Amino acid sequence: MDVAHTKAFQQKLEGQRADLLAQIAQQRGGTASRADMAAEHFAHNEDSDAQVSTARDLEFAINEHETAELGAIDAALMRLTAGTYGHCIDCGATIPNARLNAAPDAARCIGCQEKTEHNHP
Ligand SMILES: [Zn+2]
């Protein structure tokens, strides 16, 4: 991959990373205040524990998804620095630019990605 392409993908990944961090910050604030509201609303209700734990489960699920995405972006930025970006981490094949344009944090070629998804449904 040439320098111009590498730079373009790096900018794309850094943009995605910034967006994701902003989104996480916003969601953490939003979810926390919803959980507080629920706690207050159900404070004198026998179902309060169930309601609050649902809000917390939701917050946990959101964080887990975004943390995984952030990890994929960070890993891609590390591959850019190491000079291995654009190569499949499993078989070493070149990942087509079209695939990287659609998913700049793609770590595998389509064949290996499919195998991975079959192994971990
Ligand atoms: Zn591969």
d(CA 98, CA 76): 16
CA of 38 to the centre of ligand 1 (A): 47
Domain 3-119: CATH architecture, name and number where available: Up-down Bundle (1.20)
CA of 37 to the centre of ligand 1 (A): 48
Which H or E run contains 27?
helix 3-41
* DSSP 8-state secondary structure symbol assigned to residue 45: S
Q: What residue type is assigned to position 53 of the chain? A: S
| Tens of pLDDT, residues 86-117 | 999 999 999 999 999 999 999 999 999 999 98
In the predicted model, residues of the chain with pLDDT beneath 70 are 30-53, 55, 58-62, 120-121
CA of 119 to the centre of ligand 1 (A): 14
What six digits make up the tokens of 38?
């629920």
Q: What residue type is assigned to position 58 of the chain? A: L
CA of 110 to the centre of ligand 1 (A): 7
What predicted TM-score, i.e. pTM, was given to this entire model? 0.70
- 93 touches 113 (CB < 8 A): no
